[in-house]
Structure 1
């Protein structure tokens, strides 16, 4: 007798909700989702709503709510040992993605001027704890980190832990481009894109400048990406309805042992986003024939080297460009970067700075 695979989904925010709801609506094989978070009322509502969606769409999905606070000592390990997941999807964070939509405090201004890598330490905290617990327990289930994967997955990798990939970012663009181009066969499109490319598509077509994503259709690269997809426009706030949905087919393929082709950010800790394929549980790059892996990785890495956060082979994280300048105005010590092994300590210092700037 075979048992249904368990997907452990941590987090109860909008991103986790989109993942849960789309699993409930699209899973075709028996699937058990353990939803874990610290907000009891939110957990119960998401369980009820997801169960209703499974009933509406007649899918064989079971949702279990599990109260857990990943900030608590040993909470991640206890959760993993109890659930024995086939796939781990970490969507909880101590920094909401809505910071990109703006507010009037100095922290939001720092993020808007210096870039999202200002939040990398916050985004990495819970995911690194889950990854560490998995390593310590010998759990080999694939870990999907949903918190700023273009950069955070590199931090997790530098800490010596495994992470298969993230969700969203490059997959936002690949899917809106495919829809705009009316591609019924999504395998025909391949996109290289860093999270920094999303900003241009939040602006009107006439205001889009700078580097564009690289896009191939039928293995031929599009020369004018901004012009070809001028009708594509994203919302100022995080486009969770696309990004949260983008990884669901991959999650289900991993849980069921099926093949899948698409796009993901941060595969195995690489910077930026890539076209990939999943076969026999192994995710590999699925690049156009004209681009080598070295070229693709270097192209994606360039954006954080110019402005952001880069992790060196010495396992030291260094801030660069405008972000480093803005951070130095508030904390010269933090602007100098950090050894990845000191992530927890750096998080406390960064939290003090964030609290100060938000007042």
Structure 2
């Protein structure tokens, strides 16, 4: 019996099979008002790209740079510095610094080191797999930033605690833990910045060099955005990995193809990013009256940008099929001014993890649901066969 459609895009994130629903959204108007959510929806490639590219569609509501529940807290201070969470001239140079430094990461070296880490940490159960989805990508990023292996577990734990402050579903206890974690992350990066011998050859060293070259001297902002690199890795890469595992379990024959031709792993991860991205929704807020595709949206409105609907827009995307085909658009990593500059890094880490784990996962009995979220699609695995 076919599953009922999700009630709306926020419910689609954790729906077992929302893909036909997304295709229908993409076939409709690119911008429409959703009364049940009291906001606008941007759907399909045209709507998603138009909103993400519009200069008056901002990542934060006008006059509210920090969420009210974080104002005056360590998390709020960190949030206010994040280039991915803010617009405006103050964040323009930091954004350039991070994009340039991330673009200089040696992906082949990163993938080789992650492959070795993954081989040393192959999950042996569903519970271990759930932890590894988050932990190993964070270890890989901590390594490339310049932290010593002994520091990786604490950094990963703090990062996972910190990202709780970014979710409207977090409870008071989780938010309190996020405050402690924010302070710990900032302290850890402050210590690393003072250790000159940790900088040469690391991503942190490259970021420091770019910051000096472009005149970004705000130490607090630098530390916050370094912590932001870990927080962005956390759910996005865990979702990419988890959804890749789901793809392997639901598409017979993929294991054999990838075992025979390991160079297809990056293409497979690219297809997962298109078909089942880690991030299904994001939001924009109109700073002034805007006209998008002939639809007028007043200032002060919220727009839910349904990234996953663009991933299933038949006007720009071929249907899933050959692993080697070109992927037209992967908006799960953003688009326009806030496109994630770390997409290639996330793919390199995920490809290495999957290659390291594939043999051990093939015969592991797995079922899955999805973590509660309004935006991120991250499987939670359990022992058993998928229904």
- The two structures have a TM-score, normalised by structure 1, of 0.25
Q: Which has the higher strand share?
A: 1
Of Structure 1 and Structure 2, which has the larger fraction of its residues in helix? 2
Question: What TM-score do the two structures reach when normalised by structure 2?
Answer: 0.23
